[in-house]
Every structure is written in structure tokens, then in C-alpha cells.
């Protein structure tokens, strides 16, 4: 069967990690009888350099015509001088809005082979760690009304946090559906003691929970959730929260694993369409030096195989290949301990392809 994938290599190390991921998908296609059809399109800083805008209309068109989008990374100091609305990172917001990507899934998994990279005490993560942050992605303060105005006290800026019942209900359903396939625990994170939008959030999530009597629901204020993630992380299974809180907590959860270069993410629309990307950034300081870790992008492709294409065996094969490479002691620079042999981006791709 044919699957159409829009490729957005982006900036910095993005093209390098995407290249190795394409090799992995080609190997999966050859082994299991699929054909992945890739169409490369620009977004981010490279698109600004080439077209004058961070998200060309053609890129959106190709993404809409594809079955899924695979993205490397965007941004870098080269474009830091640009106004906010023109920066490379705005391409991500544009893609999320244009493609209806309302649900961001970010697993925070502590790989057994990398347990000593976790910054927490061993007893706090004994037996491993597997948390999924479900972040609402197209509403809230990032997409609300915003402006900068002149006042008697000087310039004043504001950003509006706004949510509708529909937006909260649909992201809550994603979280509860995921919990049903995991450990049946959902933690909803808000700031309902202060924010009106959070009071609406809490009420709607509670209403959705009534349709999932098998799932345990807890409500945490965001400051307590941030503390509990480092105090007792294993109490969490699925965390569902708003755009800005999810942005912060998912980074914290990923850092708890000690290996941000290993972590994938998925941004899903209604139906099976999704955009898949690694959690790490563009790392321009190591771009072109064969130092980048491609595993997070490769694991993002595994999420694509599972969630968009429904290819469960193929997704398992990719994840098992990454695990076997780690078990064999191979490490890229970002996850290597002192004295361990370090492999480069291409060598890492070679090993994973061979392991499939």
C-alpha cells in the first residue's frame, strides 16, 4: 500500500535526522510490502531564506494532500532578529492551525538502557517511567487575541487565554481514550483557583470523565503538577492540559527522562491525520557535523506508523530496532557517558536500519 508523507526537514540538524528516518521507513516499506512516497517542502528559517516567509502556501497545500507530515526542526539564531510574527517558529503555529492539529501527544519514556541519565533519585523511577502528556494545541493563549498598545504608563502588551467547551471536550476525549489503552489514569492540569478559563476546563473534563467510569480522574493545579513531576513522577499516566501549561510540563517531563534527544511527539487532527516531530530543537551548533541523534525523529516515525497508518507491527519493529541499538551499547554524543564510544548520525541510522 502507498502512503504519502510530506517531509519538512527544516533547519539546523533537521535535514540530517530526517534523512536517517527516511532510510528507516524505506527499510520498513521493503520488509513489509509498503511504499512511502515522500514530498519535501520548506518551512521555518530555510523557507524564509528561500521564499521570504516561514510557511509558504505551497507547503500547506502539500501537507493537506498528504496522509501525514514528518518534520525535523525549525529555527535558529540566524533569524532571531526578525519580529515575532515573522520568526521561523511561527511556521509550527501556522501548520497546527492550517492542518487542524489540536492534540499534541508527547511521551516521556525512561529507556531502561538510559536509566542512569535520569536526574532524579533511582528509587523515584525504579522500574521505568512512561508518561504521556496530551496537550491542547490550537487554542488558549497562543492563539488568543494579542496586541501591544501605548498607554499612559508606557507600552502595554496582552495575550488572551480563551477556550470553548468544544475545544476542551475534544482534547479530553483524546486523553481518556488513550488512558483506556494504558493504565486508566488521567490527570487534568489547570489553574482553576485563579483562571476563569481553567474553571471551564475543569468542569468540561469532569463531564467527559463520566463517560469513562473505568478511568480514574485527578485534577492538579499546574504549579503542583510541576512539583509532583519531579517529586513522584510514577503517579502519572496520562496528563491532559492546555496549550501553554502543556508546553511547559511536557518539556519538564521529557527532561525527567534525562534524554530529550530520544523523545518523539505527534500532533493529531480529527481522524488519522497527524504531524510527527522530535521534541529536540534545531541545534544549529552541531548542524552538519554528523553529531545529531536521529532516534527521536525515528521514534516519531514509529508513532506515525501506529497512529496515522495503523501499522502496529511495523511501529513495534522500529521501536525494537532502536532498543536493540541501545542495548548493544551504542550512544550518540547527547546520551553518552564519559568513556563510552560515540557514534554519529549516519552510523546510528545504519545500525537501526540493520536491526529492522
H or E element that contains 299: helix 295-307
Q: Measuring CA to CA, how many Å separate 130 from each of 70, 183, 254? A: 23, 10, 10
Q: How many residues does the chain have?
A: 356
Q: Any residues with CB less than 8 A from the CB of 34 and at least 6 apart, and which? A: 1, 2, 3, 28, 311, 314
Active site residue 247: yes
Pairwise CA distance, residues 64 & 219, whole Å: 36
Check: CB of residue 290 under 8 Å from CB of residue 345: yes
Pairwise CA distance, residues 82 & 76, whole Å: 11
Closest CA to 104 of 87, 88, 92: 92
Q: What is the β-pairing status of strands 2-10 and 68-73?
A: parallel
Q: Any residues with CB less than 8 A from the CB of 164 and at least 6 apart, and which? A: 139
Burial of 43 (0-12, 13-18, 19+ CB in 10 A): buried
Alpha helices of 152-277 — where are they, by DSSP H?
A: 165-180, 196-209, 222-231, 243-256
The count of C-alpha atoms lying within 13 angstroms of the C-alpha of 127, restricted to the half-sphere facing its C-beta, is 4
Question: Catalytic: which of 247, 276, 307, 334?
Answer: 247
Question: Catalytic: which of 3, 11, 142, 237?
Answer: 142
Pairwise CA distance, residues 90 & 81, whole Å: 14
Question: Catalytic: which of 67, 130, 159, 251?
Answer: 251
The alpha carbon of residue 23 and the mean position of all alpha carbons in its chain are separated, in whole angstroms, by 21
Active site residue 251: yes
Question: Catalytic: which of 190, 191, 212, 330?
Answer: 191
Residues 46, 82, 53: CA angle, nearest 5 degrees = 40
Question: Catalytic: which of 49, 211, 223, 285?
Answer: 223
Where in the sequence numbering do the catalytic residues fall? 142, 191, 223, 247, 251
Amino acid at each position: 500500500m502507498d502512503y504519502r508523507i510530506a517531509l519538512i526537514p527544516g533547519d539546523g540538524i533537521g535535514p540530517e535526522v530526517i534523512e536517517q528516518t527516511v532510510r528507516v521507513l524505506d527499510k520498513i516499506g521493503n520488509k513489509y510490502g509498503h511504499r512511502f512516497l515522500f514530498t519535501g517542502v520548506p518551512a521555518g528559517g530555510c523557507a524564509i531564506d528561500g521564499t521570504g516567509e516561514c510557511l509558504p502556501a505551497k507547503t500547506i497545500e502539500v501537507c493537506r494532500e498528504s496522509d501525514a507530515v514528518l518534520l525535523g526542526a525549525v529555527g535558529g539564531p540566524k533569524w532571531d532578529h526578525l519580529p515575532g510574527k515573522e520568526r521561523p517558529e511561527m511556521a509550527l503555529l501556522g501548520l497546527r492551525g492550517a492542518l487542524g492539529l489540536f492534540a499534541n501527544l508527547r511521551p516521556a519514556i525512561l529507556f531502561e538502557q538510559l536509566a542512569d541519565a535520569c536526574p532524579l533519585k533511582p528509587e523515584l523511577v525504579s522500574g521505568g517511567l512512561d508518561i504521556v502528556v496530551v496537550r491542547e494545541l490550537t487554542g488558549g493563549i497562543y492563539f488568543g487575541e494579542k496586541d501591544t498598545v501605548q498607554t499612559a504608563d508606557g507600552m502595554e502588551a496582552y495575550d488572551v487565554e480563551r477556550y470553548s467547551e468544544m475545544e476542551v471536550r475534544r482534547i479530553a476525549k483524546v486523553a481518556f481514550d488513550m488512558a483506556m489503552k494504558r493504565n486508566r489514569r488521567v490527570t487534568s492540569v489547570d489553574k482553576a483557583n485563579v483562571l476563569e478559563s481553567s474553571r471551564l476546563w475543569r468542569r468540561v473534563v469532569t463531564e467527559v470523565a463520566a463517560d469513562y467510569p473505568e478511568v480514574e480522574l485527578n485534577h492538579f493545579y499546574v504549579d503542583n503538577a510541576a512539583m509532583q513531576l519531579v517529586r513522584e513522577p510514577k503517579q502519572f499516566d496520562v496528563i491532559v492540559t492546555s496549550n501553554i501549561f502543556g508546553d511547559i510540563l511536557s518539556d519538564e517531563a521529557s527532561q525527567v527522562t534525562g534524554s530529550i534527544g530520544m523523545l518523539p511527539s505527534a500532533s493529531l487532527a480529527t481522524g488519522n491525520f497527524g504531524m510527527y516531530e522530535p521534541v529536540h530543537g534545531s541545534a544549529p551548533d552541531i548542524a552538519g557535523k554528523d553529531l545529531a541523534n536521529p532516534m527521536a525523529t525515528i521514534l516519531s516515525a514509529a508513532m506515525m506508523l501506529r497512529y496515522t497508518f495503523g501499522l502496529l507491527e511495523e511501529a513495534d519493529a522500529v521501536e525494537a530496532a532502536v532498543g536493540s541499538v541501545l542495548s548493544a551499547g551504542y550512544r550518540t554524543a547527547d546520551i553518552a557517558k564519559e568513556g563510552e564510544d560515540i557514534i554519529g548520525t549516519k552510523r546510528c541510522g545504519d545500525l537501526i536500519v540493520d536491526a529492522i
